[in-house]
Structure 1
Amino acid sequence: MNDVVFTRTDRELGEFAVRHVDPAADVGLLHRWLTHPKSAFWLMGDATRDDVARQFADTAAAPGHDALLGTHNGTPAFVMERYDPASSELADVYPVLPGDVGMHFLVAPTTTPLRGFSLGVLRTVMELLLSDPGNQRVVVEPDVRNTSVHRLNRAVGFQEVETVSLPGKTALLSTCTRSQYHATVPDEHDQEVSR
């Protein structure tokens, strides 16, 4: 379960690696992250450890959905969820296209932020998603109030489509095609990617 499924080396930030979440082993770490005030948009501020373990076990068991834990130079640093929009609440609010893949990500809360780190995480997430040739467009639906993630999304090529109502939030539906993402990559030599 803890085998690395993807790595990306960023010339400025170092190595990012991604593996599947182990709901039982990772619950303490994920609970700390998700209940932190900086993670309010994940709507799990009052979650118990059992709630978090159940959430990630459910994600792992759902067809077309999975949760992945990312490390930075060997230290846990972010979590992401990859999902099939056609089997999510998004299917009711926009026309899902073949090749669409949905994504959520959370950078671990820290008191010592590293310049450019969140963008480095998001680039790692996008590279992982687009390393699958079947994925042609990434779809996200962050809370409309989450202006910091909207800025990050625009930085990697997301285009804002519309505001939609989803359970627990009003979301800004945004999409990013493979070509839109690649147009934002500053230099092919800035990173090395492997599966």
Structure 2
Amino acid sequence: MSSAVSARQPVHTHHVEGFGTVTITPVDPAADSALIHGWVTQERARFWGMGEASRELVQEIYEDVDRRTTHHAFIVAREGVPVALFQTYDCAEDRVSECYEVQPGDVGVHLLISPGDGAPEHGFSAGLMTAFMAYVFSDPAIRRVIAEPDARNDKAIARLERTGFVLGPEVELPEIDLPEVYLPAKQARLAFLSPPEAR
């Protein structure tokens, strides 16, 4: 793990039985841009939409996220080793709000699991999802988690279903073209998860 990641304080630490200790730490755009760039530019991350991005652009994107109070990005580590990029956002302040009726307490999430070393580990994504949802629902103001993976990303959609998300409609997320950020329109599949006590 880089010294930059280890020097920052996690916002959440969660021990998952049989999986290990997961820490969730805010992204430092300058320190983490090379790591994130290495993940998002791989073919396996094509649905993340940053395959052609330079390291400098990745840093600029996460500097923009860092300036916002409604959007947050985190490096997730398992036993000290970075294994995922996790993002949360206020649905009412995001383009997804144009695609469904946002309710108070709705929070959106994005997840990119890093490329693993060697053969896939059974239960790996499930262990991470357990930690992510524990973090999100530790905020009593959060009443529902919204995901909007690319509609073609069957693997991500299946992972969400296994986690307990209920699939919603397929929608088109509108293009965002601002001086500080550009996002092309995207066909996405909405998915919804309530807190454990509400299921």
> What is the TM-score normalised by the length of structure 1?
0.89
Matched residue type, 1:118: S
Q: How far apart are 1:63 and its partner, in Å?
A: 2.2
Q: Pick one of 147, 153, 161 that aligns with 1:146.
A: 153
- Give how far 1:140 is off: 0.6
- Which residues in structure 2 correspond to 1:120-131 (within 5 Å)? 120-131=127-138
Task: Name the counterpart of 1:189.
Answer: none
Question: Is the Cα–Cα contact under 8 Å of residues 16 and 130 in structure 2 kept in the other structure?
Answer: no
Question: Quick one: which amino acid aligns to residue 30 of structure 2?
Answer: A
User: After superposition, what is the alpha-carbon deviation per residue over 1:55-83, rounded to whole angstroms, capped at 9, x for unaligned?
Assistant: 11111112211101100111011111110
Q: Shift in Å at residue 149 of structure 1?
A: 1.0
Offset at 1:110? 2.0
> How far apart are the structure 2 equivalents of 1:43 and 1:136?
28
SS at match of 1:83: strand
Please tell me whether the aligned partners of residues 13 and 21 of structure 2 are also in contact (alpha carbons under 8 angstroms): yes
Q: Which has the higher contact order (CA 8 A, sep 6+)?
A: 1
2:185 pairs with one of 155, 168, 180: 168
Q: Partner of 2:181 in structure 1?
A: none
The 5-angstrom pairing of residues 15-164 of structure 1 reads: 15-112=21-118, 113-164=120-171
8 Å CA contact retained: 1:161, 1:173: yes
Q: Which amino acid aligns with 1:134?
A: A
Aligned 8 A contact 1:39 1:109 in 2: no
Structure 1: segments with no counterpart, 5+ residues: 184-195
> SS of the counterpart of 1:162?
strand
Does the residue aligned with 1:165 lie in a helix, a strand or coil? strand
Q: Does the CA-based 8 Å contact 1:140-1:173 persist in structure 2? A: yes
1:132 is paired with a residue whose SS is coil
SS state at 1:4 partner: coil
- Match 2:8 to one of 2, 5, 8: 2
- Contact between 1:2 and 1:21, CA under 8 Å: does it hold in 2? no
Q: How many residues align?
A: 182
From 169, 177, 180, the counterpart of 2:194:
177
Q: What is the identity percentage for the equivalent residue pairs of Structure 1 and Structure 2? A: 34
1:124-165 Cα offsets, whole Å, 9 max, x none, are 111110010000100010011111111111112111110000
In 2, Cα distance between the equivalents of 1:32 and 1:23? 14
Unaligned runs of 5+ in 2: 1-6, 174-183
CA offset digits 1:151-182 (Å, max 9, x no partner): 111112111110000143210011111137x8
- What's the TM-score once normalised by structure 2's chain length? 0.87
